[in-house]
Amino acid sequence: MQGLFFETDTMPRYILRALVLLLGFWTAWRTGKSVADSWGEMPRVIVYTLLLGFAMRFLHHALFNGPMLNGFYYTIDVVLLLVFSVAGFRTRRTSQMVNNYYWLYEKSSAFSWKKKD
């Protein structure tokens, strides 16, 4: 994301940057949901998100000439991607628990469930 708002950027480049961000966030969301679909646990979501962070770093490097191996930008990418992947995981896991064990649990929010009274 280095140089995201340089004066030399043109409108197509802004659009391309927005598409790359949307692609990364959507992929992270789907990663969390797919781990939850296979009844995987949270450490698998974290590992997949770390790998997705490397893929996003590569896209930033290849498309926008950003730094490939920079710990600061990699950390920012992973934290943002982790927000979306954990949200996807928790929403899908809540749906699974409420639908598969409907006699035990009810939805208390989009990210959690509680025991029925």
The reported pTM is 0.84
- Please provide the average confidence, as pLDDT, over all residues in the chain: 90
Residues 108 and 2: their CA atoms lie apart, in Å, by: 40
Ordered by start, the domain boundaries in the chain are 11-90
Q: How much of the chain, in percent, has pLDDT values that exceed 90?
A: 70
Residues 75 and 44: their CA atoms lie apart, in Å, by: 18
User: pLDDT confidence of 4, banded at 50, 70, 90?
Assistant: low
Give pLDDT tens digits for 62-94: 988 888 888 999 999 999 999 999 999 999 999
Given a contact cutoff of 8 angstroms between Cβ atoms, the answer to whether 30 and 87 are in contact is: no
Given a cut of 90, whether residue 6 has pLDDT beyond it is no
